[in-house]
Amino acid sequence: MSVRAVRRSRRSLRTLVSLAAVTVLAVTGSATATVTAAAQPASAPAGLREVMFVGNNWDGTADVIASKGDFGRIGRVNVIPDKEERLREIYLNPIKLAFFLGIRQGPGEGHDQFVDDMYSTPDGSAIVVSRPSFADVVSIDLKTGALKWRFPVSGFRSDHMAVSPDGKRVAVSASTSNTVHVLDIETGKQLGSFATGDKPHENVFTDGGKYVWNMSIGEVNTALDEPWLDWTKGDRRITVVDAHTFKQVKVIDMRERLDAFGRKDLSDAVRPVAFTPDGSKLYFQVSFFNGFLEYDVASDRITRSKTLPKNPDTSEDRTTWVNDSRHHGLSMSPDGTKLCVAGTMDDYATVVDRATLREGPLVTASKPYWATVSGDGRACVISESGADRVTAIDFATGEKVTSVQVGDHPQRVRIGHVAADWTGPSSGR
């Protein structure tokens, strides 16, 4: 029996283990054309200030910091103003409560997950946030701190999001229902949805917003982490859909590509990704790997891999690595010449030259969980979830520029906009 057949035959077992509903998607799409990456964030419109939003997952807040320069803290938004109402609903529903507690003990590492991802609306009046423990997406008025709308996702947990290049649509992964919802960012109305592999994770709009790429990571919360138990992790794949019709146009099974590249030892659970500016190459991290791989979009094959140094103090017991991560966080300089890698379990970040794949200095960081690009494109900004701060690293030198303290367990960091004179909601904390 093939590995793929074993995965499918054991799907019911995985569902019980993960307590997740499984939606199976047939692999029937045709190949896409060469995909180009979403554009870099534009300069701030009149009357608005470009900022960075930092999601403090365990805190239930989002810090707003300058997007460049000293990255100074500007204000803070409470993203769970309705916490008591949501908790009442959960505690009155045994099924919701079971998942709520499961998230706390699993991906939450003993904590509730109140903010995973966030983006501002084009006019800078609101922030849209996915809240895993509450299984929803909400819009919060940045002036008052009040909820504007709420969208409960299918299943019991929301995860990574992506915003379209025009800022009008937001895609969110519903990780226990194997679904991505695409919403109108102003109203919260669902514009469409599509099925994915097991446990959808990262989303990326490409080709000017024509396509959405979703990466499913499979089951990451079990202790079945040895390579020979890889079949228990589920049906992992990249699903590419038309961003307007939500019809599937391509499925990429990285298991087949990894095997062809000679890396049968690596997991095919694709974690954070980064496209080159022209969309010709995709760089991606996978579970358990201290490094990343390069995928050529046109030829549909993996072309290079980069193994990064291990921290000798990092345990080799895979069950101690958070959510099957070893490295989790990847971004690219706007000119496409440098990659910034967050070495999550190895407690460092580093800038890698894309042409030679040589890494620069290893910048010490405490459980870095994400990597993005500063507003001026000069620095990589990582979230240090173990130290409650964000740190900027110069793309040109690979050296640390500065660190800024934020809230409890920062993860996602996103560029956005607020009113030029904004310092925080009137009712925020």
From the first residue on, what is the mean pLDDT of each consecutive set of 10 residues in the chain (429 residues)?
A: 40 35 32 40 78 97 98 97 97 96 91 97 97 98 98 97 97 97 98 97 96 96 87 94 97 97 96 96 97 98 98 94 94 98 98 98 97 98 98 98 97 97 79
Q: What is the pLDDT of residue 427?
A: 61
DSSP state of 37: B
Name the CATH architecture for the domain at 3-419.
7 Propeller (2.130)
Q: Sketch the domain layout of the chain as residue ranges.
A: 3-419
Q: What is the pLDDT of residue 46?
A: 84
SS3 216: strand
237 HSE (CA, 13 A, CB side): 21
Q: What is the pLDDT of residue 222?
A: 86
Q: Which helix (H) or strand (E) holds 260?
A: helix 254-261
CA 112 to CA 134: how far, in whole Å? 9
Token output for 400: 């640390």
Token output for 33: 């054309």
Q: What is the pLDDT of residue 227?
A: 87
Q: What is the pLDDT of residue 37?
A: 39
Q: What is the pLDDT of residue 426?
A: 83
Reference 371, options 395, 354, 353; nearest CA is: 395
Q: Who contacts 380 (Cβ-Cβ below 8 Å, separation ≥6)?
A: 331, 333, 338, 340, 349, 351, 371, 372, 373, 374, 392, 393, 395
Q: Who contacts 356 (Cβ-Cβ below 8 Å, separation ≥6)?
A: none
